[in-house]
Chains A and B, each alone.
Chain A
Amino acid sequence: MTAQAAAVSPCWSCKGPVASRALFCSVCGAVQGPGAVDHFSRLGLRPTFDLDMDELERQYFGFQRRLHPDRFAGKSPRERALSQSQATALNEAYETLKDPLKRAAYLLRLLGREVDLTACGTINDPELLMEQMEKREAIAEAESVEAITRLSAAADADVLADVCHVSAAFNAGDLDEAARLTMRLKYLTKLAEEARARKARMTRALP
């Protein structure tokens, strides 16, 4: 079978041919299953790290408008189940692509350069390790709201800067560098979250 033949499968409802990636059967209009496509294609986007967030949201909303289970409330159980699978797949794609860290890791995987973000293993990069330890200590020891606000802002800025570097590495086609910076992004993001949490706690403690 050629790729073209494989691109056609029977519609579950009218049993006729339908393109495998179609959302709806072009003959009977029945909603189809989500199919195995990457997150970018699912949302009709080009696979790139530099996503326009407004466009991502627009695409996501557009697909959800047509596929969300609320659109199928009066339909048959099968159609309701398929729309739920579709909406679930859209949510997964949206959640992955919305977040720079998840997006970078996902794109690396698509490009065949896997990074394991869930591994809570040790930091291999000694420079990164030192930097992390120092900054974490500073956050834990911040005593005034001014100090923690400054540290939190700095941590956010580090994240933003790293995101720019990740983007540059992808654009230069340097996947090793992109992978290294993505690991770094993971730690910087965590640090920024810690700073934000501590800032929230300290602000709350004020009268």
Chain B
Amino acid sequence: MSDTILLQIHEPGETPAPHESERGLAVGIDLGTTNSVVALARDGKAEVLRGPDGDGLVPSVVFYADDGSVTVGRQAREAILETPDHVVSSIKRLMGRGLEDVKTVAGTLPYKVEVAPEGGMVRLDVAGRVMTPVEISADILRAIKARAEEAQGKAVDRAVVTVPAYFDDAARSATKDAARLAGLEVLRLVNEPTAAALAYGLDTSVEGLYAVYDLGGGTFDISILKMEKGVFQVKATGGDAALGGDDVDHAIAEYFLAERGAALGEQAISPGEVKQALMTARVAKECLTARVDGEWRIEVDGKGSLHPLDRDTLERLASPFVDRTIEICRAVGADAGIEISDIHGVVLVGGSTRMPLVRRRVAEFFGRQPLSNINPDEVVAVGAALQAEALTVGSDTLLLDVTPLSLGIETMGGIVEKVIPRNTPIPVAMAQEFTTYQDGQSAMSIHVVQGEREMVDQNRSLARFVLRGIPAMTAGAARIRVTFQVDADGLLTVSAQEMTTGVEQHVAVKPSYGLTEDEMADMLRSALEHGRDDMAQRILAESVVEANRSVLAVRAALKVDSDLLSDDERQAIDAAIERVEAATRGTDRDAVTAAVEALEAATKSFAEKRMDRGIRQALSGVSVDALGNALGGDEQSQER
């Protein structure tokens, strides 16, 4: 009997969560550097939601007009040529980035990065507006949400959003903030290669060790997964969050601009020329996938220049970037102790894997032809949609992912002490003890970093906080335990505690380059006219979930132990349940909370009687086994 209850509750597919049908849709979103895609899954089948023209890709480009209106997608991309300073593209490259990072990538971005000095987060000056990458990404997500709502004729309020596996904590956090700003509850951040593997695994029921090679517009990821009977276990992952097809475009554009400079006898290059050259470069690169040569024309300000390009030259220009991806594949394999020959197959993901050079090099390195039967531009969104369905409706599949980068803290001399090594399965919690280095030291500054290098300044700084109130002790006597916790989204929380006194401090790591809660609240208010409503609704929904849980729990208890109650007591409990149910049908969150509290009070003595009986039975040794029915050991037989 207890088994049936377990099944009912833990196979959500059989008992859809209450209100599930009333809620908005949950979609999967691949928020890409160059293009974004949205998909929706029903009954284990995912479908890419397309625009009126049948295209699934929404260019991740935003046009900010002087009148304040915002356009996303193809039209925005076309506006690049007319008004380059009103258009933002490749914003993903700046997610979670600080001033220092921007200097290193600014040269490769197709627009001018204006950096406002206040705060840690980069701000862009576009068409007279100062915006963070989070707000710009939120504009893209809003457009995607609107596309999905239009396609389905139904509200969309929840999503699985994918991120490159190699995204650090700051970039993940920024992505989650962007979705919130766009009015989407993030069910889970899923790593792009893992999402792709899910799409492949379910579609073709592959088994064994697989590599997912994901070369997108701006990011490269390689993940090695074990796929087995619905479990997708990431064994190792690696990549480069600033390497992708954009780099190839840039190399071609430079080549074109050098030719153009020579042909026209010009020295200075205008921003318009750069954007035009980049656009032409992308077209040329895409054309040379099918053809071996061609000629392209760049015309800016009435001056035209002709640029022939063949595939050999393209491959010469692209080769350094592809070499680097292969290098990373080799390192990840070696790091995880996996022989390349043990890998059963390679899945290609990302538009840049259409390049013949990439396919050739990947096939050479892995010693087998890569799989690409699912559209590499859409496969990540398909996987994300499947995961969104799994999280809301239920599923037999399970994704087990890892931390892509080591997490640690700064110790004396600027050396990093690793607390969680890379490729550790998440969620994870690990602690390390540190001590003071001065007599009577009363505070300790804790600097959280992410990366593989030994010295702090070579890694990514995530957050700094101070643990105060350490009692005066001699140097080395205090024991400060720093605990790192990474949740299933890959997001980090750090807490520190002085062990001899119990002084404690918790910080959800709001990365140095992220938004503060206040900034976030301000943005939610100003960006969304229904921002407040959305928030209130979400809080109400949470209370209703909690209230339903209470009622179910009491009902289950009544079924088993109602003989402990007198008629009066029973009636009081039934009445309290009814009041909770009535409250959950309304919209008053306080009424829901009050009714739940009243139910708790009404069942207090019932709970005590149940505990008494349970302990009595345990003492007499009869029913520990019965109580232990839910122990893991019993279920293993079900698993097999």
Residues of A that sit less than 8 Å from B by CB: 2, 4-5, 7-8, 10-11, 13-19, 21-30, 42, 44, 58-59, 61-66, 68-71, 73-79, 84, 87-88, 91-92, 94-95, 196-197, 199-200, 203-204
The residue of chain A having its C-beta at the shortest distance from the C-beta of B187 within the complex is A73
New A-B pairs, 8, CB < 8 Å, besides A10-B607, A23-B632, A26-B628: A14-B607, A15-B553, A17-B617, A19-B631, A23-B630, A70-B391, A73-B188, A88-B485
Residues of B within 8 A of A15 (CB): 553, 557, 603, 606-607, 610-611
* Chain B residue total in the interface (Cβ 8 A): 76
User: Is A73 a contact of B392 with CB atoms below 8 Å?
Assistant: yes
For A25, the closest partner residue in chain B by CB is: B630
Q: Which residues of the other chain, B, contact A10 by a CB distance below 8 angstroms? A: 607, 611
Q: Assess the A30–B549 pair: CB atoms within 8 A.
A: yes
Asked if A200 contacts B614 (CB within 8 A), the reply is: no
A196: chain B residues at CB < 8 Å are: 334, 337
Contacting residue for B552 out of A24, A28, A199, CB 8 A = A28
Q: Which residue of B lies closest to A196 (CB)?
A: B334
The complex places the Cα of A21 from the Cα of B17 at a distance, in Å, of: 27
A10 to chain B, nearest CB (A): 5
| A70 and B636 form a contact (CB under 8 A) | no
B425 CB within 8 Å of chain A: yes
User: Which chain A residues lie closer than 8 Å to B485 at the CB level?
Assistant: 88
A16 engages B610 (CB within 8 Å):
yes
Q: Can you list 19 pairs linking A and B with CB atoms under 8 Å apart?
A: A7-B618, A8-B611, A8-B627, A15-B553, A15-B610, A18-B614, A18-B630, A23-B635, A26-B626, A29-B9, A29-B552, A64-B398, A65-B231, A71-B10, A74-B392, A76-B542, A78-B546, A88-B429, A91-B428
Q: A16-B557, A24-B630 are in contact. Are A76 and B398 (CB under 8 A)?
A: no
Q: Which of B231, B327, B400, B552 contacts A204 (CB 8 A)?
A: B327
Q: How far does the Cβ of B66 sit from chain A's closest Cβ, in whole Å?
A: 42
Complex: A119 Cα to B614 Cα, angstroms: 47
Are A84 and B549 in contact, with the CB atoms below 8 A?
A: no
Can you name the residue of chain A whose Cβ is closest to the Cβ of B555? A28
B6 contacts the other chain (CB 8 A): yes
- Alpha-carbon separation in the docked complex, A79 to B635 (Å): 20
A127 to B2, CA, bound (A): 59
- Distance (Å) between the CB of A124 and the closest chain B CB? 24
* Most central of B545, B624, B627, B635 by chain A CB within 10 Å: B627
Q: Is the interface of B mostly helix, strand, loop or mixed?
A: helix
Given A61-B398, A69-B487, A92-B428, CB of A26 within 8 Å of CB of B632: no
* Shortest distance from the beta carbon of A81 to any chain B beta carbon, whole Å: 10
Determine the chain A residues whose CB is within 8 A of the CB of B610 once the complex forms: 15-17
Contact of B556 among A14, A88, A204 (CB under 8 A): A14
Q: Is B54 an interface residue, CB under 8 A from the partner?
A: no
A5 touches B331 (CB 8 A): no
Report A-chain residues with C-beta under 8 Å of the C-beta of B559. 27
Contact A61 B549 (CB under 8 A): no
Contacts of A29 in B (CB 8 A): 5-6, 8-10, 552, 556
- Quick one: which of B549, B613, B628, B630 contacts A75, CB cutoff 8 A? B549
Say yes or no: is B427 at the interface (Cβ < 8 Å to chain A): yes
**Is B56 part of the binding interface, using a Cβ–Cβ cutoff of 8 Å?**
no
Q: Is the CB of A61 within 8 A of B553?
A: no
B630 with A17: CB separation less than 8 A:
no
Cβ contact within 8 Å between A74 and B12:
yes
Report if A70-B611 is in contact (Cβ < 8 Å); known contacts: A62-B639, A76-B545.
no
Expressed in whole angstroms, the minimum distance between the Cβ of B357 and any Cβ of chain A is 18
Residue of B nearest to A21 (CB): B631
What residues of chain A lie closer than 8 Å to B488, measured between beta carbons? Answer: 68-70, 84, 87
A61 touches B231 (CB 8 A): yes
- Picked from A16, A79, A87, A88, the residue with its CB within 8 Å of the CB of B611 is A16
Q: Which of A10, A16, A58 has the most CB of B within 10 A?
A: A16
Query: For residues 324 through 371 of chain B, which have their beta carbon under 8 Å from a beta carbon of chain A?
Result: 327, 330-331, 334, 337
Q: Measured between alpha carbons, how far is A66 from B396 in the docked complex, in Å?
A: 10
Of the candidates B487, B626, B633, B635, which one forms a contact with A84 in the assembled complex, judged by CB atoms under 8 Å apart?
Answer: B487
Interface assignment of B67: CB less than 8 Å from any CB of chain A: no
Contact B331 A200 (CB under 8 A): yes
Residues 35 to 64 of chain B near chain A (Cβ within 8 Å): none
Known pairs A24-B6, A69-B487; A74 contacts B20 (CB<8 A): yes
Contact residues in B for A16 (Cβ distance below 8 Å): 557, 560-561, 607, 610-611, 614
Bound-complex Cα distance A164 to B330 (A) = 30
Residues on B with beta carbons closer than 8 Å to the beta carbon of A87: 427, 488
Q: Is the CB of B557 within 8 A of A17?
A: no
B556 near A77: Cβ-Cβ < 8 Å: no
Q: Are A5 and B632 in contact (CB under 8 A)?
A: no
Chain A, Cβ-Cβ closest to B637: A62
Please indicate the chain A residues that have their CB under 8 angstroms from the CB of B487 in the complex: 69, 84
Judge whether B554 is part of the interface by a CB distance below 8 angstroms: yes
Whole-angstrom CA separation of A55 from B621 in the bound complex: 32
| 3 nearest CB pairs, A to B | A17-B614, A15-B607, A29-B9
A13 touches B549 (CB 8 A): yes
A77 and B553 within 8 A (CB):
no
Residues of the B chain whose Cβ atoms lie less than 8 Å from the Cβ of A68: 398, 400, 488
In the complex, B619 has a CB within 8 A of chain A: yes
Select A8's contact among B429, B545, B618, beta carbons within 8 Å: B618
Please give the distance in Å from A108's CB to the nearest CB on chain B: 20
Question: Contact check: which of B387, B630, B640 meets A26 at CB < 8 Å?
Answer: B630
Cβ of B372 < 8 Å from any Cβ of A?
no
Most buried by A among B427, B429, B611: B427
Task: Give CA–CA (A25, B229) in the complex, Å.
Answer: 27
Q: Which residues of B153-173 are within 8 A (CB) of A?
A: none
Question: Interface 1/0s, chain B 556-590, versus A by CB < 8 A?
Answer: 11011100000000000000000000000000000
B615 at the interface (CB under 8 A from A): yes
Q: Does B426 interact with chain A (Cβ within 8 Å)? A: yes
- Interface pair B426/A91, CB less than 8 Å apart: yes
| B557 pairs with A63, CB closer than 8 A | no
Chain B nearest CB from A5 CB (Å) reads 5
Q: How far is the CA of A92 from the CA of B553 in the complex (A)?
A: 30
Q: Which residues of A contact B384 (CB under 8 A)?
A: none
CB atoms of B425 and A76 under 8 A apart: no
Q: Is there an interface contact between B636 and A77, defined as CB atoms closer than 8 Å? A: no
CB–CB A73/B628 < 8 A: no
Complex-state Cα separation, A92 to B613, whole angstroms: 35
Q: Could you say which residues of chain A place their CB within 8 Å of the CB of B6?
A: 24, 29
In the complex, are the beta carbons of A94 and B425 less than 8 A apart?
Answer: yes
Instruction: Determine the chain A residues whose CB is within 8 A of the CB of B229 once the complex forms.
Output: 61
A79: nearest chain-B partner, CB-CB: B549
- Residues of A within 8 Å of B560, CB to CB, are 16, 27
Chain A positions within 8 Å of B334 at CB level = 196-197, 199-200
Chain A CB within 10 Å — which of B229, B557, B560, B626 has the most?
Answer: B557
